[in-house]
Amino acid sequence: MSDRNSEGVRSEFSPWLTPLTYFLFCKIIVPFYFNLEINGRENLPQEGATILAPTHRSRWDPLILGYAAGWLETGRQLRSMVLEEQTKGLQGWFVRRLGSFPVDRDRPSISTIRHSIELLQNKEMLVLFPEGHIFLDNQIHPLKSGVARIGLQAASGKTDLNLQIVPISIRYQHPAPPPWRCGVRVNIGSPLAIDNYRDDSVKKASKKLTADLEMALKELHQ
């Protein structure tokens, strides 16, 4: 299954690689390597347009997120916006077939943003890291406005979309690279409904939504 817009940005799932990867990582590698604590799974929407907005502390984060909120848990595939360099070479071959698509962090293209919006308007689940970078400390860093802007644009003119943004804290017991049997606590917060931000201008709504998301992540990360 794939989605493609006119500029060629796409995300797809291999019919054989996706279930194999979920089984290997979510049933064997991740629970074997880490000592995991998952809280708040009941906050994950089972359907509808959804943005998962996790903290970013390690390259393990997408695998931890797949374990906590992915296909085996919710029955939903996770689309992910990832750095352009992660979609190249052998790693990129796998990443592109597991629902990810590239973004230039310094100059996001219109096609990448448009693809994100199309996915949400198709009521899929999209992973966006709101801090924009990997940070090795346990502090919540100022969020970029991208999550809010993409969410608001996706909901523009779509009164029935009911888009939800789910804050997620991923906290490692030890700094990266995490050692074997490192403790990891994942706190999944209550979703922020995009409909609660429709009354303001896009600029004001984006600022307020970003601030509310940052506050939610700080509370979850304590």
| pLDDT tens-digit profile, the chain (222 residues) | 444 443 578 889 999 999 999 999 999 999 999 999 999 999 999 999 999 999 999 989 999 999 999 999 999 999 999 888 888 888 889 999 999 999 987 788 899 999 999 999 999 999 999 999 899 888 999 999 999 999 999 999 888 899 999 999 999 999 778 899 999 999 999 999 999 998 888 899 999 999 999 999 999 998
Q: Is residue 184 in some structural domain?
A: no
Domain with 18, as residue range(s), is 10-35+48-174+196-221
Q: Helices marked H in the chain — which ranges?
A: 17-22, 30-33, 61-69, 71-74, 89-96, 110-121, 146-155, 202-221
Return the pLDDT at 7: 56
Report d(CA 107, CA 177) in Å as an integer: 28
Q: Is residue 43 in some structural domain?
A: no
Return the pLDDT at 2: 44
Span between the terminal Cα atoms of the chain, in Å: 39
Q: Is residue 186 in some structural domain?
A: no
CA 20 from centre of chain: 21
Q: Is residue 31 in some structural domain?
A: yes
Q: Is residue 183 in some structural domain?
A: no
pTM: 0.94
Return the pLDDT at 200: 82
Q: Is residue 187 in some structural domain?
A: no
Structural domain tally of the chain?
Answer: 1
CATH code where residue 101 lies: 3.40.1130.10
The per-residue DSSP string of 14-27 comes to -TTHHHHHHIIIII
Both tokens of 104, joined, read: 């230039």
Give 195's DSSP letter: G
Return the pLDDT at 37: 98
Report d(CA 55, CA 58) in Å as an integer: 9
Instruction: For tokens 């219109």, name the residue.
Output: 110
Q: Is residue 105 in some structural domain?
A: yes
Q: Is residue 153 in some structural domain?
A: yes
CA dist 142 → 4, 24, 129, 139 (Å): 32, 34, 12, 10
